[in-house]
Amino acid sequence: MARSGDAVRTRRHYLMCPPTYFAVEYAINPWMDPAAGVDRARAIRQWEGLRDLYRSLGHRVSEITPIDGLPDMVFAANGALVVDGRVYGARFASAERTPEGPAYLDWFRQAGFTETREPKHVNEGEGDFITLDEVVLAATGFRTEAAAHQEAERFLGRPVITLQLVDPRFYHLDTALFALSGDQVAYYPGAFSEGSRRVLASLFPDALLATEEDAAVLGLNAVCDGTDVVIAAEAAVLAGRLRDLGFRVHPIELDELRKAGGGAKCCTLEIRDARD
């Protein structure tokens, strides 16, 4: 695997949504238990820590206004996929989150994005799409329909490679894999079907393979800008291996948001736009 010294940090533009109305009121993934309750004030503090960390690293952060009644809107990554300034909108699998798709698409249109697509097929944005330099990795199995992969490929003009998720704990691709650079990834093999593991091994023979222990604390729901990695504080082994590869690692506590199955990446929608 190439060390991070071979990579260059690029200034990113992220869209985030404050957890003003965050709650666990229903269960649409194995992480969610409405009976457990959440500390919303603590969730807000943790989210603000993530936002401020991005800014301290030199990244631009825009914020979308949260909507009362949409407690999962904080997980901005699910709201769209943006590549080369083109915005492929989300169409959520669950009724509880359905209004989030139009809300995020409206934000992009009001922000001046003219190439937008309201999807015909169910997909949950960057939750199940991860963009690399040459291809987009896309998952199906729990939330996103395989037909959305073709729809995104046609709209974005980039090859999309389909992967199959098989472990319900890792219901989105971004809970099981993240990009270290434009051509390298880290992932947990156990989240994927046997065929998808072969695809990943072929595409990324030098990938960083995470343990189940680190994956189980959403350690792979991480954000890397090429040199710096923002990662769940509990993913200690993975953090150490990243440091060994030369990355600057920033552990962050987001355990309150993890009660709904989200981490750093879930809270972070990358706006890939040549205008930035």
Residues annotated catalytic, as ranges: 172, 266
- Check the CA dihedral 67-69-75-78 and report its sign: negative
Strands 223-224 and 129-131: unpaired
- For CA atoms 84, 85, 86, 88, give the dihedral sign: positive
Q: What is the 3-state secondary structure (H, E, C) of the chain?
A: CCCHHHCCCCCCEEEECCCCCCCCCCCCCCCCCCCCCCCHHHHHHHHHHHHHHHHHCCCEEEECCCCCCCCCCCCHHHHEEEECCEEEECECCCHHHCCHHHHHHHHHHHCCCCCEECCCCCECHHHCEEECCCCEEEEECCCCCHHHHHHHHHHHCCCEEEEEECCCCCCCHHHCEEECCCCCEEECHHHECHHHHHHHHHHCCCCEECCHHHHCCCCCCCEECCCEEEEECCCHHHHHHHHHCCCEEEEECCHHHHCCCCCCCCCCEEECCCCC
Do residues 235 and 241 touch, judged by C-beta distance below 8 A?
A: no
Q: Are 82 and 34 in contact (CB under 8 A)?
A: no
